[in-house]
A and B are shown apart, each in its own frame.
Chain A
Amino acid sequence: MARARDLPLDDDGSARFLPWLVALMVYLAALAIGGGAALHNAVERWNAGLAGALTIELPRGANGAPVAQDRVDAVLGELGRVPGIVHASRLDPAAETRLLAPWLGQDVDISVLPLPVLIDVETRPGVMLDPDTLAQRLAIVAPGTSVESHGSWLARLFRIARLIEFGAATIVLLIGGVAVLTVVFVTRTGLAMHAPVVELVHLIGASDAYVARQFQWHAFRLAFGGGGIGLVMALVSYGALRWTAGQGLLPGEAAVLPVFHLPLLGWLAVLALPPAMGLVGLVTARRTVLGTLGRMP
């Protein structure tokens, strides 16, 4: 027969709401971690896709006249002489169609659109070409040619992403702080409610640590259980987000839009939330009880 705990902590009205509060906290923390991880993952994919890549743009002539093939050849020839470039090729119409499909749809005849000629350039890993210098060099053989290195907007994107990740981490820390305060409140209320029994077990010979153990494991069970509920809620939300985000995507969109994907570290962080909350409950309750009783004569 399992032995009853000495203090009737399970009957506390004040503790009854703790699992649900913790569930909500874990749910919000899991969403913050998931959101931050999804964004981090998207930025990494953008960065990986664009690292070592340049895009050369040859604008149409006056009145929208198509770009002459000899201008394209001249640019490609010049690019072939630039050290560090391993590949340069004109984007074919099929590739342009794929690129524009998220905005224009797949059935558009792009040959009727006044599009510039785009040349994809791939550099050797580790080679950083200065886009302005390259543009000046190319403008000699084909005036008006511009070079887009993606670096500046990618840097801005990184800054925003880091800011959002920092915000997510701050939310998780704040949730941890709120969890600590909640457990302190519940524990102090429990101590006040059960003061006669606490006094009795002291008179019988219990140490403060014995009383603290009763509270700490009670807090651990409530916080761990609540964390489990919050985790289940978060997993359901992850599934719903993943399913919703994958609905109606056009080819190419999946590569551009942030896809909900948690890396291994993210999964570990999310799965660690319930035991972490249990641990926060355990340590906080123990310190609260020992601190409160220690101030008594």
Chain B
Amino acid sequence: MVRFENVGMRYGAGPEVLHDIELDLEPGGFFFLTGPSGAGKSTLLKLMYLAERPTRGRVMLFDRDVAGLTRAQLPALRRRIGVVFQEFRLIEHLSALDNVALPLRVAGRDETRVRDHVVDLLNWVGLADHIHARPRELSGGQQQRLAIARAVTRQTSLLIADEPTGNVDDAIALRLLYLFEELNRRGTTVVIATHNQALIERFGHPVLHIENGRLERRPSLRAVQ
């Protein structure tokens, strides 16, 4: 599903922010990504969702070497990945419905079926009463759920979430994690970057820990126990 081989990454002429990353995420897995701020979590995720390319080493996504992809080949691969961005990145002039519908529309899905599907999804994340609301009219937690709805609207093979529980209270964070687990049970590989140790312990999935640009894989707490 996702394989990193000796991956290094630097921005421009700056210092290397990721060093010799070795990673192999099997399909259907559920992983937490942890590490202190500035450790390189977001950069690692950017490499996974094809926002960046490594400066050295090899990144394999869905058995394809990212380095060999042309620009025209990227969209098809990106449509297999759902992303919940740390800062949500909702489109301000679009309604909640249109924000969530966007991944379906860029994929050219039948417009007549888009609306029903999106309304169901908004209902699922508790935003059924806000389908016409603009993002600025929603609270931080509602925006986060909207961003999650957008990320999962296409039932992707890989779901990447960067601090998805950062702006919500514990109850909603728990609910979101159950939501991710449900997607995982349906076959989606899930990678969640989080600082929330309580959630990590509660759900007990394997942890990828990154510090000073170096990654180590820790077994799930359940396996340890």
Contacts and interface: CB of A to CB of B under 8 A. Distances in A.
B95 A4 contact: yes
Given A8-B93, A296-B71, A202 B78 contact: yes
- Counting chain B CB atoms within 10 Å of each CB, the highest count among A6, A201, A205, A210 belongs to A205
Contact of B50 (A8, A203, A208): A203
A200 B53 CA distance: 16
- Counting chain B CB atoms within 10 Å of each CB, the highest count among A11, A196, A197 belongs to A197
A206 B106 contact: yes
Interface string B86-118: 000101111100100111011100010000000
B106 A3 contact: no
Contact of A205 (B75, B89, B98): B75
B221 to A, nearest CB: 32
Nearest to B93: A8
A206 B93 contact: no
Contacts of A201: 102, 106
Chain A contact patch, size range: 20 to 34
A237 interface: no
A203 B78 contact: yes
Given A203-B50, A203-B83, A210-B106, A197 B71 contact: no
B49 interface: yes
A206 B75 contact: yes
B89 A200 contact: yes
B78 A4 contact: no
A200 B106 contact: no
Given A4-B94, A201-B106, A207 B89 contact: no
Contacts of B76: 205
Contacts of A196: 89
Contacts of B224: none
A6 B91 contact: yes
Given A205-B107, A294-B71, A296-B71, A4 B102 contact: no
B6 to A, nearest CB: 21
A83 interface: no
Given A3-B98, A201-B106, A297-B53, A207 B75 contact: yes
A203 B51 contact: yes
B214 interface: no
Interface of A: 3-4, 6, 8, 11, 196-197, 199-208, 210, 293-294, 296-297
30 contacts: A3-B98, A3-B105, A4-B93, A4-B94, A4-B95, A6-B94, A6-B105, A6-B106, A8-B91, A8-B93, A201-B102, A202-B74, A202-B75, A203-B49, A203-B50, A203-B51, A204-B78, A204-B83, A205-B75, A205-B76, A205-B79, A205-B103, A205-B106, A205-B154, A206-B75, A206-B106, A207-B72, A207-B75, A210-B106, A296-B71
Given A205-B76, A205-B78, 13 more contacts: A3-B98, A3-B111, A4-B93, A4-B94, A6-B91, A200-B91, A203-B50, A204-B103, A204-B106, A205-B79, A205-B103, A206-B75, A207-B106
Interface of B: 49-51, 53, 71-72, 74-76, 78-79, 83, 89, 91-95, 98, 101-103, 105-107, 111, 150, 154
